[in-house]
Structure 1
Amino acid sequence: MAADLIAVVPDQARLGPGLRPTPTNGSAGSFTGRDESAFHRATTPDYFGWLDHVTAAAGCSHPIRLAGEVATIDRATGQLLGSMSTADLPDGEIYKPCGNRRHAVCPSCARTYQRDAYQLLRAGLTGGKGIPDSVASHPAVFVTLTAPSFGTVHTRIVKRHTCAGRRRCDCRAEPCHPRRATDPTARPCQHGQQTVCWVRHEDGDPRLGQPLCLDCYDYDAQVVWNHSAPELWRRTIIATTRHLNSRARQLGLPPVVQVTASGTVRRVAPVKPSFGKVAEMQRRAVVHYHAIVRLDGVTGDPDVIVPPVGLGVDGLVAAIEHAAATVAFTTRPHPARPEGWHITWGDPDKGIDVRAITADGEVTDGKAAGYLAKYATKSTEATGHVSRRLDGDVVDLYADEHGTHPERLIDACWTLGGHRDWQQLRRWAHMLGFGGHFLTKSRRYSVTFRILRDARTIWRRTETGHEHADQPEETTLIVGLLTYAGSGWRTTGDALLANTAAAMARERHEIAREETTAAA
């Protein structure tokens, strides 16, 4: 539990460059000052009332503080039934979790986001949360799509795993880049750097993902590929859909007639893919996609999800593999490259992996959803770079054309982004060019994060007695007339006490769940 506490207490040294905690009292920088502020809070008469008040944001590293009034209004008549001012609450403010998905910024909120992501992704495979249970019978595949090579980097390859779990893999890796002395490619590059590496890298080796020669690496092409990856995925899904439609016509499957909300009649294909995907930033600082793709049938009602007819998992695998191997496009021109950059996925034999999801096979619904949810809370941490959005005043702290691997990527973003048609590269320089969201889904695949959050809010209100579970509908409306008062805990002592209470509650919850599972 101690490690968990250290991670969630705001601390400048642990947040990394570019992530600064909200200023606290003058003694917050010392451990003694933290102890004093914690002791002062713990000895106040309303200490336990304060703990109850901050429960919703107790584990958050940077909670949002709100001040103002909360009014209760009758839905039917609009009459004001009552109001409550935050001035009457402990600290005179309401504490709300920051909701940040990045584990490096707020482990507590990231854990909630990760669990929501798992429920969202798994519901698309097994049903529930408003998705019909019949989706469990639909063909579904787990897809991994990676980027092409932009230069030789240090890597760790394990051809055969003998470990029980990949999270703590200690299997013997193959040599990084072995070559015989007689091999012409084993000669040093034009910059005098070795192109051979016989090291069997461990999983935590800081050299993993770093180019063997920084000067030979194509940084411009990589940041442009990162920026173009969402468009490449969009085109891949379109190509997959077209391939499935073509296959349906070959099998003689009749099209389906649909009537839109505006009364327009259209004929559509009888099958349609839906997906949930996550973008993972590799150690070499280029994104690649993990996705769950499900094949659905189409009816006259576009909102109804039914099993497909005539096409199975083999047809879905063939469609995705064909699309990933053939889809490509060229970007708009740039003064640094007038012909534009050619955007495509990596080697079809190595960069494209499509596996069927089965109930008891190598890839199950739980494993696939858990794998994607794990990466939904990560960002650029694996590359060694962490910062907020950059501007001209601070970019020189992170960008250097002769610096480290991440520094050169940021410099490439900033340099290429100086052109008026490529300004988005500067906007996303802190993300090394990638401007897409790290978790997206198609509309039909599953529920939304908002539905899950609203359900959790209703459950908490019911659990604490604010609402009745058997109440047919809400008869009152809660309106918050609140304004932003600040971010972060008032003192590091408050952070220590609140995070400790949250960690203890999580520990009790985990113990109870383990005992319940063991008893079952």
Structure 2
Amino acid sequence: MAGAADRRHLATAAGQPQSKIGDHLRLSFAKVAEYQRRGAVHFHAVIRLDGPDGPTSPPPTWASAQLLEAAVCSAADSAHVSMPYTPGLGEHVFRWDDQLDVHPIRRAFADDMGEFLTAKNAHFLLVVKDSQPLLFNALRSLPRTNVTARHAERDNGHGRRQLRVVKALTITGLGMDFPEFAQAARNMRFHTNDTTGKLTRKTTYAITDLTSQQAPPQRSSS
């Protein structure tokens, strides 16, 4: 289900021209495809509505969670991909199954995250980039004096050399807004272009409910 399909269904549900929907709101999402042992694909997505300027601007009042849920369900129901014919398998059309579970994410849901994950027998790892300035700056300001684990590795290829340095910090008891967070890992990537010699640096963070023993830094940043 592509973002374009969601935008198209949002525009239809809101009674807005598709070409003008960007004047009213911005749709952003993060997605993970989980290939299960039984052969099924379990797809997770977090879909968010903001105003036209992104997270710093609120969405219009008509852009409710109910409207977004209806657009997501409509887009999932209409999405399909045709597989080319092969002698061994024939021709098939792939669609989403009807097992679609949509939850609005609100503050109350975030407060119950630990209970929700326990019930699902699951854990989480969230990648935080500078496009999420509030959480990114909160993680950047954490004290780095008590690093619990670290990892460094070098890699060469594609015309550049890369150095990746990961430092993990236990954040339980540091006053983070989400008490379920146990560990934050800072991932710094240094890229050197073999042709120009230019050095660039990119910093991201990963936060998880797992400790550094359960999720060492080389895993939390891969």
TM-score of the pair, normalised by structure 1: 0.24
- Judging by fraction of residues, say which structure has more helix: 1
Larger strand proportion of the pair: 2
Q: TM-score, normalised by structure 2?
A: 0.49
Of structures 1 and 2, the one with the larger relative CO (CA 8 A, separation 6+) is: 1
Larger C-alpha radius of gyration, 1 or 2? Answer: 1
